Structure 1
C-alpha cells in the first residue's frame, strides 16, 4: 500500500528515472549555477581589462565579449526547460491525476511523453545557443573591434580573467545538458516499458 500523501503523488514524476532527474536537476545543476557560477563569473566584468585608463572601452568590449552573461543564460535555460514538466504536473494536480493514472491512461501517457520530448528539444536548443554564444573554450585574450566607439581605438586586445576556470565550467554545463537529454530519453523508454507491462498484465 502506498502511504505517500496524495499531494506528493500528484507532483512527483511517475517514473524512477524522472524522480532522479528532478533530484539531479534541482540539486547538482542548481548548486553549480548558484554557487560555483557566481564564484567563477561573479566579478568578470570588473576584472575584464582592455585599457585600465579607459573604462568606456572596457565596458564596450565586455558587452561585445558577453552579449548575455552566462549566469543569466543558464538561469533562463533552467527555467525554460522546467516549464513543460511544470505545466503537465499543474494540469495533473488540477485534475487529481496520480502517478498510476499517468501510466494507465493512454492520453495522460502521451501528454507526459510530449512534455519530456519538449524538455529534450529545449535542452538541444540551449546547447546550440550556448555553443554559439560562449563556444567551448575561453581564451586568455579577446580581440575587440572598438572602431565604432572611437576610430582611434580600432582593434584592441583584452585580458579575460580566470579563463581556465571558465573553460572547465563551460564543459560542466555542456555535460549537464547532455546528461539531462540522456535522462529524458531513458525516462521515455521507462514509460514505454512500464506501459507495455501494464497492458500485458491486463
Structure 2
C-alpha cells in the first residue's frame, strides 16, 4: 500500500513509468472519454499515441471516445458525402446564369433563409464541446453539425485515409472550401471549352456565396 505506481486521472494522460520513478509529465486529453482513469499510459479501447490522440491504424473514432476497426462498408459515408457535395455543386452551376431580376421574391427569400440556417447550425457546433448528455433528437441534431463545421470524424474519414492523423484531418478541413472552388472553376472551364456561355462574374459570386456559408 502506498508504494505502487499511481494511476492517471480521467481526462489526463501520463507516459508509462518505470518502478521507482517520481517525476511525471501529465498532459490533458482532448476528451475525458479518450483518457479514462487507468494505469499510466492507458487509453480508451483502440486509442494510442501521446494523450491518446490517435486511433490505431485502420480504426475510426466513436462517440464514446474509443476506436473501432474499419470494415469495408465504413468508407461508404465519406463516398456518399463526396457524391452529394458534387451533385450540389453541379446543381448550383446549372443555375449559375439565372437572372436574379427574373426570380420570384419567394425563391430569393428561401435562399436567404437557407443561408442563415446554415450559419445558425454551424454556430450550434460549439454546443458539442459542452459536457452535457444530450438526448435525442437534440443529440442527433447536434451531431449533424459536425458536417457543416467540417468535422470529418462523423463520416469516418480515417477509414478512407487508412490512418487517424490529426494533421491530415486539419489539412482536409483547410482544403474543403478550396476543393469546392476548384471543382466550380474546372466546370466553368469545361463549359467554356464546349462553347457554353457562362458568366465569370456569376462563377465568382458563387464562390463568394460558398465562402460566406
- Fold equivalence (TM over 0.5): no
Give me the TM-score of the superposition, normalised by structure 1.
0.29
The structure carrying a bigger helix percent of its residues is 1
Greater RCO (CA < 8 Å, at least 6 residues apart): 1
Normalized against structure 2, the TM-score is what?
A: 0.28
